[in-house]
Amino acid sequence: QVQLVESGGGLVQAGGSLTLSCAASGGSISDYAMAWFRQAPGQEREFVSTIISIGTSDTNIYYAASVKGRFTISRDNAKNILYLQMNSLKPEDTAVYSCAAKTTPYGFQDDSRYNYWGQGTQVTVSS
C-alpha cells in the first residue's frame, strides 16, 4: 500500500511560481497512474494533471484546460517523487492540492477511481 505526502505549498503573489512535491513510500510511483487534484473552499475536487505509464514504456501526460501551459507534471522514479511545477499562478489557483495514485490508466479525471491519496498542501495565490 503506497503512502503519499505532499509538500511545497504556500502563499505566493499572482504571477509567481511554486513547485509541489509528493513523496511516495510503500510502493513505486512507476507502478501507478499518478495525478494532482485540487479543491478550493466550497467547491468540488477537480483534476489538475496526470502522468501515466503503467505496463508500457510510453508516458502519457494530461492537463486540465485551466492549467495547461502554466503547470508541468513530472516524476523522479529513482527518488519516488511526483512534482507539479506551477508558473504564472492566478488567484483562482488557490486550493488544497493533493496527489493521488491508482493502478489503472483509465478514467484519470475521476477522483473516485484513485486508491491512494495524500493529505494535501495549501496553495494560496494573492492578487
In order along its 127 residues, the chain shows pLDDT tens digits of: 899 999 999 999 999 999 999 999 999 998 899 999 999 999 999 999 999 976 667 889 999 999 999 999 999 999 999 999 999 999 999 999 999 999 988 889 999 999 999 999 999 999 9
d(CA 92, CA 81): 26
- pLDDT tens sequence across 52-71: 976 667 889 999 999 999 99
d(CA 89, CA 105): 28
Class of residue 12 by CB neighbours under 10 A (exposed 0-12, middle 13-18, buried 19+): middle
